[in-house]
């Protein structure tokens, strides 16, 4: 199996437009490193505006980056000419957040799947008859009844079915990786787990890796409890490690605040003993010198305000963090 994806020091800066903010730079990603093995799972979690969506778009080839390297199977994509780069982005497909706007409302599911499959048939030298066959195959893979959905328009399907069509469309081009950006937040609660389960199963049935971008840590855990978790704050990865380790034993105060904010299911769970709340809300004006979380951190010291901690290893746990004062705290709810 191929399709290892690696990011090395990816930087993305947006120039603000408009009269008021003109000239101000917004640093969406400040040198981000990550590695997702073929068939693996990685989750990027953080608040809105932390850069996680930008990262997903860069991975899917929808956004450029200013510096750093994006490598697929060890090949640095930034060094390639656009034409050479194209085939690599076929291998990374995006599942958008909103299945209502990700599908063309004037086209049937049949038409939606036929286009990429025609292209794929041409690329791989397959006969036309393969297209109809493959259509049914990908629809069955995502748990849809081909005869029911093929003649239908997106508006005739429920949100959950639409998201499955979006996933089927991504699978038509035989990707190595799926990038799912808040893939279930627009879907009815009773149907969410079905979609998450599907993404999880596709890792086994098709061997795709899943890059899951979300603010909901529990869904990230469901998809990839065997994978890696990256916590992003204002464009910097501030903690990273095996998903279960980071959730059970976070060391960075920001990760701890984020995990503390998850509602406790009273009756089934008790609040974690060390629940933590940031001292300030997130504001645009917060300083770029020193630790990015310093302004909101309950444990801030003078050093944090002047010096920026780099992401580095913490003992032998495979966990990395960017904090001068790391301390394990148990913040997530415990089963009652």
Partner 1 sequence: MTTATESSTVDERTSPGVRIRDLTVAYRTPAGELPAVSGINLDLAPGSITGLVGESGSGKSTMALAMLNAVQQPGRITGGAIEIDGLGDVLSLSPKQIRAVRGGSIGYVFQAAQNSLNPLKTVGKQLLDLGRSHGVEDRRALVRQARELLSRMGLSGERVLDSYQHELSGGMRQRVGIMLALVLNAHVLVLDEPTTALDMISQANILSIISDVHAERGLTTLVVTHDIGVVAEVADRVAVMYGGRLVEQGPTVDVLRTPSHPYTKGLITAIPRLTGDPDVARPLPGRPPTLGTIPRKGCVFRERCAVYAAGAREDCETLDPPAHDVGGGRLVACHAVEGEQ
Shortest distance in whole angstroms from residue 47 CB to partner 1: 4
273 binds partner 1 (CB under 8 A): no
Spell out the alpha helix ranges (H) of the chain.
52-59, 82-90, 109-124, 129-141, 146-149, 159-171, 189-205, 217-223, 243-248, 253-260, 302-306
How many Å is the Cα radius of gyration of the chain? 21
CA 115 – CA 111 distance, rounded (Å): 7
Q: Using the minimum distance from each CB to partner 1, give the nearer residue, 74 or 267.
A: 267
| Contact assessment for residue 146 and residue 168, using Cβ atoms and an 8 Å cutoff | no
285 binds partner 1 (CB under 8 A): no
Can you tell me which residue has the tokens 């079905």?
Answer: 194
Question: What single DSSP character describes residue 215?
Answer: S
218 binds partner 1 (CB under 8 A): yes
18 binds partner 1 (CB under 8 A): no
Q: Give residues 224-263 in contact with partner 1 (rule: CB under 8 A).
A: 225, 247, 257-263
CA 98 – CA 281 distance, rounded (Å): 27
- Judged by CB under 8 A, the residue of 169, 203, 221, 240 near partner 1 is 221
Shortest distance in whole angstroms from residue 20 CB to partner 1: 10
Q: Quick one: which segment of 11-19, 85-93, 118-126, 278-286 binds partner 1 (CB under 8 A)?
A: 278-286
Q: Give residues 69-128 in contact with partner 1 (rule: CB under 8 A).
A: none
What x-and-dash track marks residues 291-330 binding partner 1 by CB under 8 A?
----------------------------------------
269 binds partner 1 (CB under 8 A): yes
Q: Using the minimum distance from each CB to partner 1, give the nearer residue, 138 or 223.
A: 223
Using CA atoms, how far residue 165 sits from 43, 56, 59, 95, 294, in Å, is 22, 20, 21, 10, 43
CA-based nearest residue to 177, from 156, 207, 149, 200: 207
CA-based nearest residue to 237, from 59, 39, 7: 7
| Contact assessment for residue 115 and residue 198, using Cβ atoms and an 8 Å cutoff | no
43 binds partner 1 (CB under 8 A): no
CA 168 – CA 247 distance, rounded (Å): 31
Name residues whose C-beta falls within 8 Å of residue 99's C-beta, 6 or more positions apart in sequence: 154, 159, 162, 163, 165, 166, 186, 187
335 binds partner 1 (CB under 8 A): yes
Q: Using the minimum distance from each CB to partner 1, give the nearer residue, 19 or 302.
A: 19
Question: What single DSSP character describes residue 79?
Answer: G
188 binds partner 1 (CB under 8 A): yes
189 binds partner 1 (CB under 8 A): yes
- Judged by CB under 8 A, the residue of 18, 23, 281, 316 near partner 1 is 281
264 binds partner 1 (CB under 8 A): yes
Q: Give residues 126-165 in contact with partner 1 (rule: CB under 8 A).
A: 158-161
What angle separates helix 109-124 from helix 129-141, to the nearest 10 degrees? 120
286 binds partner 1 (CB under 8 A): no
- Judged by CB under 8 A, the residue of 1, 140, 265, 288 near partner 1 is 265
Shortest distance in whole angstroms from residue 272 CB to partner 1: 9
| Contact assessment for residue 72 and residue 61, using Cβ atoms and an 8 Å cutoff | no
Q: Using the minimum distance from each CB to partner 1, give the nearer residue, 12 or 192.
A: 192
Q: Which residues bind partner 1 (CB under 8 A)?
A: 47-48, 158-161, 188-194, 196-197, 215-219, 221-222, 225, 247, 257-269, 277-278, 281-282, 332-336
């Amino acid at each position: 199996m191929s399709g290892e994806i690696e990011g090395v020091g990816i930087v993305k800066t947006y120039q603000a437009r408009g009269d008021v903010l003109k000239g101000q730079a917004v640093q969406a990603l400040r040198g981000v490193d990550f590695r997702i093995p073929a068939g693996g799972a990685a989750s990027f979690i953080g608040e809105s505006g932390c850069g996680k969506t930008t990262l997903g778009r860069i991975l899917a080839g929808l956004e450029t980056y200013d510096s750093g390297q994006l490598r697929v199977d060890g090949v640095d994509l930034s060094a390639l000419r656009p034409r050479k780069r194209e085939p690599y982005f076929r291998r990374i497909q995006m599942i958008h957040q909103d299945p209502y706007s990700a599908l063309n409302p004037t086209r049937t599911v049949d038409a939606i799947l036929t286009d990429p499959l025609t292209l794929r048939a041409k690329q791989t030298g397959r006969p036309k008859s393969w297209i109809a066959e493959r259509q049914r195959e990908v629809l069955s893979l995502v748990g849809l009844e081909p005869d029911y959905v093929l003649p239908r328009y997106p508006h005739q399907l429920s949100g959950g079915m639409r998201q499955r069509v979006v996933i089927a469309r991504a699978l038509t081009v035989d990707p190595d990786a799926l990038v799912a950006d808040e893939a279930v937040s627009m879907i009815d609660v009773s149907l969410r787990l079905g979609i998450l389960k599907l993404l999880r199963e596709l890792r086994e049935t098709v061997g795709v890796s899943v890059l899951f971008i979300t603010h909901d840590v529990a869904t990230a855990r469901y998809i990839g409890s065997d994978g890696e978790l990256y916590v992003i704050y204002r464009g910097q990865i501030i903690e990273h490690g095996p998903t279960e380790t980071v959730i059970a034993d976070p060391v960075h105060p920001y990760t701890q605040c984020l995990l503390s904010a998850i509602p406790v299911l009273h009756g089934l769970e008790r609040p974690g003993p060390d629940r933590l709340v940031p001292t300030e809300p997130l504001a645009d004006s917060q300083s770029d010198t020193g630790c990015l979380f310093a302004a909101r951190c309950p444990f801030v010291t003078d050093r944090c305000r002047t010096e920026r901690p780099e992401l580095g290893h913490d003992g032998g746990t495979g966990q990395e963090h960017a904090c001068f004062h790391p301390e394990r705290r148990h913040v997530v709810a415990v089963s009652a």
